[in-house]
Structure formats: structure tokens, C-alpha cells
Chain A
Amino acid sequence: MEGNELIIGLLSFLFTVLVLSYIIGDSPAFRLAVHAFVGVAAGYVAATVFRQVVVDKLLMPLFVGSPLDRALMVFPLMMSILLLAKMSPRLEWLGRPVVAFLVGVGTATAVAGAVLGTLFPQIEASSAMFGQGLGGIASGAFILLGTITTIAYFQFTVRKANSGQRGKIMAFLALLGQVFIAIALGAIFAGVLAAALTAFVDRIQSIVLFLDSLIQ
């Protein structure tokens, strides 16, 4: 094993053990591992963002790019500087337009994507199932039922005036929605469990291999 691989292996083994020490309880070893991971990650991110965003996408075009690139970089540059004003309470108002731009663009993109990329295609796909025979109808109906009941479960505004409770229909639908929600959450939990076990297996596997490599 190469030296790099040895160090990497050793650190990997060490941090793995430190993290797995949490089974005993919150210990300084666990905190060390957590702090190390957070720190390394923050540093790596900072370095990556600075190089690949600030330098590659802002500074390089300003200094090395064409005039058109430079002209186009003026606006982002100003916005970046104004965004830096958010750090000062007196000047934070300067970054408000930038933040508003960013929030607006992001929201628009997200909403558009959600509507065009998820809502419409999903509705189209669900409705298309009703044309695929009985199976499709059943599937579609089932999906439709699940969708409606799940949405009904999250409907809290319609309440009776005196008792403050839902009506019977809405209560039944909400109950079915709870079932679908529970099934979905169960599936998600299973996936999470599987992922966690897989990660656990991987870690155990890595420890074994490291030790095996050391032995060998």
C-alpha cells in the first residue's frame, strides 16, 4: 500500500471508529470526528467555491476575458459587491436588491420547474394510466385516491363551527390519506434504513480491508 493510501486508510479507519463510538454515547472522540468532518467539508467547499466560482467565473473573465465578457461581468461584479453589504447593518440595504433578484430568480425557476417538470407531467402520467386497461385504471384510481386523500389530510381550514372538527367525508378521506402517507413514509424509512445499513456495511468492509491490507 502506498503511503498515501496508508494515511488515507488509517485516517479513514480512525474516523470510522470515532464515529462508531457514538454507540457508547456522546464522547469527545465522536465530537472530534464530527468537528473534523465539518471543518474539512467547510474548507473544501470554501476552496472549491472560491476557485471555481469567484475566480473562474468572475475574475478570470474580468481580467482575461474579452471585452464583451468583461462588460458582462460588470453587473455580476456590482451585485456581488452589493451583496457583501449585507454584512454591515448600516449598508445591508444595499444588498436587498441583489437578494431580491436572487430570490426572485430562484423562486421563479423553482416554481416553473415544479409546475412544468413535476406537476404537469405527473398529472399527465396519472391520467394516462386510466387509459391502459383495467390495470391502468386501477392503478390510476389508486394513485388518484392516494393523491386526493393525502391532500385532504393536510386540509385544516374546513372545520365545524361548534366542535372544531372536520366533517365525516373529510375525516374519512383524511384517514385514507393518513394511510397513504404512512405507506410512503414507511417506504422512505426503508430506503433510509437500507442506505444506512449499506453505509454501515461499507464502513465495516473498509475497516476489514484496511486491516487486511495491514496484515498482508
Chain B
Amino acid sequence: MADIKCPSCGKTNPEELEICQFCGTLLKQTRTEPLAPILPGQFPEKKATSELERTLPGWLRDVRSAANEPNTSPIPQVKVPQKSPPPAPTPPPPQSSKAPQSPLDLLAGLSQAAEEDDEIPDWLKSLQGETPAPVAPAAPQAEPQETPDWLADLQEEPAEKEQAPQPEDWGFSSEPTTFNFDEGEEPAQSFGDTPDWLAALDMPESAPQQPQPSAEEFPTLPGADSGDTPDWLASLGSIGTAQPENAPGEIVHPESIETPDWLSSLSGFESPSQPQPESAPPAPGGDLPDWLADLQGPGQTPPDTPVVETPAAEIPSGDIPDWMSGLQESAPSAPESVPSSISSDSPLPPLSSDLPDWMSGLQETLPTETETPAAEIPSGDIPDWMSGLQESAPSAPESVSSDSPLPPLSSDLPDWMSGLQEPAPTEITADEPAPTLEIPSGDLPDWLASAMGEQPASPAAPVAETPSRPTSKPFPTGALDEFRILAESEPLPDFLSGLVPETEEKKPEFEPEAQPGELPDWLAGMAAGAAASIEAEPILSAESEQPIETETETFIFPESEAEGLPPASVPAESKTPVPENEGIDSLLLDVPDWLAGFTPSVEAEQPEPAAPEEGDLRPVELPSWVQAMRPVESMLTGTDSVDVGDGEIEQQGPLAGFRSVLPVAADALEIRKPRPYALKLQVGEAQRAQAALLEKLLAAETESKAVAPPEKVSLLRPLRWILFAILTLAVLLPTILGSRVLPAPGLSTDANAPFNKFYDALTNAVPDGALVLVVTDYQPGFAGELEQAAVPVVAHLMRKNAQMVFLSTSPVSVEMGERLLQKGRAFYAKNGRDVPTYRAGEQYLFLGYLPGGAAGVKAFAEQPQRATGVDSLSGDLWQTDVLRDKITDISGFAAVIVITDDPDNGRLWIEQTGTRLGNTPMLMVTSAQAGPMIQPYAASGQLSGLVSGLEGGALYEKRDAQPGDTYPGHVKALYWDGFGVAVIISLLAIFFGAIWSMVERLRARKDEIEQDEA
């Protein structure tokens, strides 16, 4: 019973246990545990098949377990027991009993994957006659095998003879594959058994009397219980049919094993026309090379033989690989080149109907070709060594040393195989080497030709011990070491690499002499194995059997549950002939899907994944099954190197790991998160500088310019004082001295002079005792001037005994009339005249303040009584004797004298009363400053007279002087000289000041000019 190795502690546990008894780890992963996702930039890692067991879906594991129940052995692995005799060929199971072919069978071997992955497809391994073991962990092989498992199995002793071949082995039919040369031939053996043709090859060594297989029979591959085993393989198995009951190493030639005719012909089997479905495989004749003779033995795989991880591929039925077809040629001629690991008693599993092209080429007529170490076998082309077999077969009848004649070959057989039909096979004894075929040398591959040619001179000891076999080649064949050469020149695919001898340290004990047609290592190993088996070496135990080691790396099995899957069954034997012109290429192209998913781990350092850019997408986590499907460079090129010269390896993205990926646009694959943009206004340095400049300009506009302080004149204050003093003296001295030096102004003779008109109007228009309106609209500050100008007028009115009504539009000038009257009285007193008595209310009255500005004046002009109202203290003044029933409007006054210092007031009275005055003269006494502004009105006739300033007063005093007046008047007496001097001084000051300013300006300009010129 196969034990299960605990994945945690590594200790073995019985199969029935589900939990490790040592550490408690689940031995059988019932839950799917996908592999860790591969991030972009990472490369798939090398993983053992056992690790991938739990990656299979549960349903797959269940199916596998169900399929394995009747036959608990996993996918049969082609094992190459070292020292086990070829088992006796076992009859192929009926087709009906075969397990249904299912692709799941391909995954049967996952659960029992050994530590060392075997990259040889199972179908190939089954050719060695390995019996698939039950569900048991793959035990590490004791010794590496140099020869492929499928050949090694041929030499194995059926340690587990009681183990029936698995009905379903990775697609291979348990029935021996036949080439359908004859109808009714028995199906090929199971995959686990030594193919008949291989068994038949061993018959001359172990059982020369083995019946020759039919021509249509081909050795069955292990697990090929579906009956798709090519006949040629079944026949091979019959030649050296696996006999589980036989001791390992014995070459059993069960007569019941059907051997293909072509293979039987290799060993001197019966003619192809003599189908012998149950006949034991013909004993290998003397013409068969030793290695072929070894193949005749039962190739039953011991039960403990570890199963190789690699599942078997579905070899199309009828497709005989070329190298297999070559076996027919070289079997009788190079028995010594058979690798020792080949177990003759382990029949090759029947090939499925989907044999690769290279196997199908065995049925074709291949052109004769010498050694051709091609990198890859062209598809559809049978190697020369294979083709030579058909051609030389008929010409080398004597090379067939098998007891039973070779089965009749079909017309589709290669030439080298067709040659196998002619010679009468001789009985192959156990001691005799595998029957040899006389194959034309030109058709045989070199390796096969050399093997056949040097049969008697084989340097290998085991080979020497093998029974002599005819070395002549019935037809030229290619070199048996074609594959090795092929591998050396260019790496072979992994599943074929097992066919190539491994490294030097794995070479068999004996090395065939290097020759152009040197046998491949696997065949050399078979020869050695055959020799060893002849020496009755103990059959290697199941534990010592190791799966065929390959030079390639282990593959990562696609994510699928391998547990419980029934072994892949070889497709049913196809009756159709092997398609022609199918060589290694077809073999390569027919790589099953499960094999395509193998991705060897890359031992080289994986480049670190590129750091995601700021804002990149999250790395994609690929599912495990996708990861497993991702090809790796090493699988294609057979190298572990990741760094290649002719193309960069994609580091990221879904194509990580691929080489020579078409470049894309630099930014096409860049998936960046949009850069976040701030809401703030983005300005550059230049823009910021310009904005700052604009702000400065705007701020400068609002700022007030600093006004340069004027140059302070140092003499300004003293000059003022001097002028003040001068003026004061000029005024004071005359006043104190009472001088009257300056003459009074002269009277104008122009009657239209305003002064003359004023005096004339006041003299003529105002009768005595008339009512005169006197308006005092001047400020008290100008009283000194205006009183000097108005007092003579008032005195004149007093001399005329006019009634004066004082009115004012200024509230502070209401009582100014009183002052005027008072100064008039003094004037007369100075002159010694009688001063008339003017009493208030009788000769004069004050109407008070007239409000409203222009409107008030206008209102007074129209209705004086309503405009002035009733005095609260004096009563109604309009009812007094002065005004009673005299005034209705302004024109009722005999004259209107306006005394004002403001020209606007004067204009106001003129404008507002002009239309209402009528014949009433409007006289105006103004200040000297208002005179120029009022004079146009006097010139226009709107004013009847104008007296302006102190000069006017002086003139009016002069004009109104009465004879006998000694007092000239206040003006003349008190003010005129002082005024005169002050005016002169002022004028001089102004004059000299102007001159001084002009000189200074000229000098400053001159200095500026000089500075500019400088």
C-alpha cells in the first residue's frame, strides 16, 4: 500500500489516513488552495507536482479519486527500473473494461508526484511498461535513471505483477496499440505492461520460443486499456511481453502477448500475414539488436515503482513515433545498445490513437537516411532510421532472429519495418538476444545501423553477455543516438528530453562506443539494462525505481486536482494505419494540453517587479491555473536563463515573462491616476512677477505724491514785521499828528461817473423828508471802511431830513444803521452845524432782519410789510408814522441805498429789486473790494450811483461839503493821510517785491540752465 508523504513533516503515513499522524497536517487536501498570484514582473516559480495537487478544483479531485478507485494507481509513469527483468507481457484488458477515457486521466498522476518531477510524458513513460502505482506518494527514486522510463520499464521485473495495468492511463488505451495490420487482432496491452513489441523484442533473450506477435499488433503502453494502443507497440510488447509473474530481469516471451508483426519481424517473428494475437511475442532473433531484444521482455512496471509526475500524453493511435519505428530496425541489429534500464518484461503501454507524429511515423515508409542529428524532426517525415526499417525489412529476413515471424507489415509501414516481414523469424530464446532485423544500412538511422552493425562488437559488458544477435541491418537506419545528438544541438522539448540520455553522470555504466550512428543514451541504457537483466541482476525495488529524469526542469502542472483522477488512459487502439509523414514535429505538435501547461520554474533570480507608479493600477493577481499556463522561456528553449540576447523579457503587465513582446507606445500602458489638480490658480514665476508689478502700479496711483516742502525763506517773518511796522507808522503818525498832507481825491467831472450819479440821484431824486430805504448788508469787520464811505451819505440824507428805514439781510448788521446815524451827527458837529435830531421811530426805524436771502429780498420788494412782519418788541412798524400807508412795495421808497461789502449781496439786491424799483434809484455804497464787481451794474444803469470804499467817502465828503465847513470830514481828517501812506507803502512793497521775485526767478532759471548745460 502506498504511503502518503506528509507535506509538512515529510514523514510517510498510510494511505488511508487523512491527517498526518505525526504533525496533524492534512494529507489529502480536500480544499482547493490556489497558488499565490503572480504579480507583474514576477516569473513563475518551479513547483513540484505534489504541491499542485491541492490547486486542482475539488470536482477534479473527486473525479480523479473516483476514477482511481478501481484502479488506484495514478497516471502510469514510465519508469525505468534499473535491474528489473522485463515483466511478462500481460494480456490487454478488454476495451469495455477500460476506464472511460477522460482528460482527467491525465491528471491522475499529480497526487503521486515525486519530488523530482519527471518531464517525460506519461505516455512515453508507459512505453517502458511501467505499471502505474496506486495513490501513493511518489517515493524518491533511489537512483537516477539514464534511460527513459518507458524503456526502463521494459526491463523491469514485475515487482508488482499482481497490479493490473491501469485501465485509464492518461489517455493511453490499456489495449495494445496495433497498426491494424490484421483484423481481429487482440488489443494491445495496457499501458502498464510491457508493450508487446518490446516484450517481443526481449523474447530472444528470455524466451526465444515466444510466439511472434501479429503484424498488426503493437506493444501496448501502460494504461492504454482503451484499446488505442498502436498495434506496433502492442506487437512490440508481444515480442517482449510483460510477464508480471516473471522474475525481474527475465526476458519473458509470453506467447499470449501479441506483438506487432513489424516488431515480431524484427526478432524473427512470423510474417505479417500470420497474425498471432495471442501468440507470445517472438523470441528475439539473432538479427535483432540486443537493445531490441531487451525490449521484448515484459515491461511491467513494479507496483512500487514511483510514478512520474508528468502525466501521460495522449498519443494518437496509430502514430508511431519515428524513434519507435526505428526500434524495429535496430532491434535485431543492436541488442547491446538497449539500455539496461529497459525492462523487457514490462510491456509498453498501448499507444493511443493520438500518437504523435513521430510515433505514427513508424507506420510509414521512411526514406533512407543516414545519421541526421537534426534539431527537430520535421513533421510528417519519418526519420531515416525509421524509414530504413521498412525498406530493409524485406531485404533482411535473416536478421530477424525471433522465433515467430514478424507480423505482416502493412503497406504503410516504413521500409525498415516492411523488411521485417520477409525473414522467417527464428525462435527467440531467453538467452538469445532480441531478434534482429536485417535492415539495409542505408535506411537505418545511424545509431541503429551502428548498433546493428556492431552487435557482436559491443563494448558494453552487459551487452556482451546478451545473446548474440544479428548485427546486420536490414535497412539503413538513423543513429539511435539521434535524440541525444538532437538534444545536444538544440534543447529538446521536455517530454522528449527523457528520451535523451541525461548528463554525463547519469550515463549508464557502459557507454557505447561513440560513433556517428551512436545510440542514444536511452537506448544505450536499455542495452545495458538488458545486459544487466541477462545477468539476472535483481530487479530493482519499486523504491529504487525512479522516474525518468530529464534534464529539463520540472513543470508546473496546470492547476487541477490530480488526486483521484484515474490515470490517463491511452486512447483506444485505432485500426487505422499510422498516418504517414509524421515525425517528431508531429510529436511536438501533438503535445497534449496538460503538457503544454508545464512551466518549468525559473531558477534564475527573478527581477523585482517594477514599483507601481504614483497612481498606477493595482497589480493583477492571476489565478493559479493561469499562472501555470504561462510559458516560461526555459521550457521552450530548455535553458534556465531568463536573460536572452535576442529580445527583452517583459517585466510587467499580463505578458510578464514573455520575450520579444512588441513594444507599445510609451504611454499606452501607463495607467496613471489623474494627477490631482489643486483648485488654486496655478501661476508661474513670470506671471507672479507681473502680477506683483501690476499691484505696485495700482498702489502707486492711489498714493499721494509727497509734495516737496517749499523752501523756507529765512527773511519771511522779519520782512513781515518790517512791513507791519512801516505800515503802522505810516498810519499812526498821520493819525497822531493829524496831518492832512495828502490831497483828497479829485472829483470827476463826468456826470455819468458812478459817484456823480449817486450824489446827483441822492440830491435830486430824494426830496427832503423822503423815505429812503437803507440796507446795511455789510459785516462789522468792514464797518471801518464802509462807515467812512456811508457816513457822508447818511449825513447828506440827514441834511435832507430824509426818513430812513434800515433793513438788513444779515442778522449781525441789523444795528449798523445806528452807527451810521451816530457818525453823521458827529460829522455835523465837527463842522459846527446844527445836527438835526433824528429819533427812532420818527425819522428812522429799523425793520430788522430780512430772512430768506434772494427770496426774502424779492418778497420784500413785492410786499415789504409781509416780508418784515410785526416786530414783537416794537409792534407793527408799518403802522408807524414813518411807514403808515406809504409803502406798498419797494418802489414806495424814494431811494434804496444798499450798503454792502459783498458784491454778491449787491448783485442780489440789484437782481431781485430791479424789476420792482421803477423810478426809485438804487444806490449802493460798497467796499473797495466789491466796487469792481458792482461797477458793471452801475455802468449798465441798474444802479443809480455807486460809492466805493474810502475814496468814495472822501469824494462824497468833498462833494457834499458845505460852505463854511471846517471839518473836512472824518475821512479826510482821520483816514486819508494814513490810508494814503499805507497804500503807497503797500504799493511800493508790492512793486519791489515783484521786482525781487522776478529777479529771483530769473536767477533760478539761469542757474537751472547752467546746471543743465553742465
Contact = CB atoms under 8 A, between A and B. Distances in A.
A205 B732 CA distance: 7
Contact of B872 (A56, A117, A202): A56
B849 interface: yes
Contacts of B940: 121-122, 124-125
A60 B849 contact: no
B914 A60 contact: no
19 contacts: A49-B849, A52-B849, A56-B869, A56-B871, A105-B855, A109-B854, A109-B855, A113-B854, A121-B940, A124-B940, A125-B941, A184-B932, A193-B983, A194-B979, A195-B901, A195-B927, A197-B982, A200-B731, A205-B978
Interface string A122-133: 101100000000
Interface stretch (A40-48, A148-156, A169-177): A40-48
A52 B982 CA distance: 41
B721 interface: yes
Given A23-B721, A194-B929, A203 B848 contact: no
A114 B812 contact: no
Interface in B758-802: 781-782, 784-785, 788
Contacts of A41: 812
A113 B858 contact: yes
Given A187-B932, A191-B928, A197-B986, A116 B914 contact: yes
A71 interface: no
A192 interface: yes
Interface string B551-563: 0000000000000
A213 interface: no
A51 interface: yes
A201 B869 contact: no
A106 B858 CA distance: 11
Interface stretch (B78-86, B589-597, B903-911): B903-911
Contacts of A204: 728, 731-732, 735, 978
A145 B784 CA distance: 37
Contacts of B849: 48-49, 52-53
A198 B949 contact: yes
B784 A201 contact: yes
A27 interface: no
A48 B814 contact: yes
Interface in B845-884: 848-849, 851, 853-855, 858, 869-873
Contacts of A61: 869-870
A3 to B, nearest CB: 17
A182 interface: no
Contacts of B858: 109, 113
A199 B870 contact: no
Interface in B948-1003: 948-951, 974-975, 978-979, 982-983, 986
Contacts of B785: 195, 198-199, 202
Interface of A: 23-25, 41, 44-45, 48-49, 51-53, 55-57, 60-61, 105-106, 109-110, 113-114, 116-118, 121-122, 124-125, 184, 187-188, 190-195, 197-206, 208
B735 A205 contact: yes
A188 B982 contact: no
B931 A191 contact: yes
Given A106-B855, A113-B858, A121-B942, A198 B979 contact: yes
Contacts of A194: 928-929, 949-951, 979, 983
Contact of B811 (A44, A116, A118): A44
Interface string B711-748: 00000010011001001100110011000000000000
Given A109-B855, A116-B911, A191 B927 contact: yes
Contacts of A118: 907, 910-911, 937
A67 B788 CA distance: 47
Contacts of A192: 928-929
Contacts of A114: 911
A125 B735 CA distance: 43
A125 B943 CA distance: 12
Contact of A122 (B728, B784, B936, B951): B936
Interface residues of A, dominant DSSP: helix
B912 interface: yes
A61 B907 CA distance: 32
Given A191-B948, A195-B782, 8 more contacts: A48-B811, A110-B854, A121-B940, A122-B936, A195-B927, A198-B788, A199-B784, A201-B950
Given A56-B871, A194-B929, A201-B975, A117 B731 contact: no
A126 to B, nearest CB: 8
Given A57-B869, A109-B854, A23 B724 contact: yes
B939 interface: yes
B374 interface: no
A131 to B, nearest CB: 14
Contacts of A48: 811-812, 814, 848-849
Contacts, number: 163
Given A188-B932, A198-B975, A106 B854 contact: yes
B930 interface: yes
B971 to A, nearest CB: 9
B690 interface: no
B835 interface: no
B915 interface: yes
Contacts of B950: 194, 198, 201
Nearest to B784: A202
Interface in B176-190: none
B35 interface: no
**Max chain B C-beta neighbours (<10 A), residue from A118, A122, A200:** A200
Nearest to B936: A122
Nearest to B858: A109
Contacts of A206: 784
B853 A106 contact: yes
A197 B949 CA distance: 11
Given A191-B928, A191-B929, A201 B911 contact: no
Contacts of B986: 193, 197
A197 B784 contact: no
A201 B929 contact: no
B933 interface: yes
Contacts of A45: 811-812
A97 B907 CA distance: 29
Which 4 A/B pairs are nearest by Cβ-Cβ distance? A117-B911, A202-B784, A113-B911, A125-B940
B227 to A, nearest CB: 114
**Max chain A C-beta neighbours (<10 A), residue from B724, B928, B933:** B928
Contact of A113 (B721, B908, B937, B978): B908
Contact of B914 (A53, A117, A188): A117
A64 to B, nearest CB: 8
Given A56-B872, A188-B929, A203 B854 contact: no
Nearest to B912: A113
A195 B721 contact: no
Contact of A208 (B720, B735, B848, B982): B735
Interface in B51-85: none
Contacts of A205: 731, 735, 974-975, 978
A122 B941 CA distance: 9
A45 B779 CA distance: 12
Nearest to A108: B855
B731 A125 contact: no
**Max chain A C-beta neighbours (<10 A), residue from B736, B870, B901, B929:** B929
Contact of B979 (A55, A57, A191, A201): A201
A55 B871 CA distance: 9
A169 B939 CA distance: 31
Given A109-B858, A122-B936, A191-B928, A199 B781 contact: yes
B931 A201 contact: no
A57 B850 CA distance: 11
Contacts of B869: 56-57, 60-61
A75 B459 CA distance: 155
A201 B731 contact: yes
Contacts of A105: 855
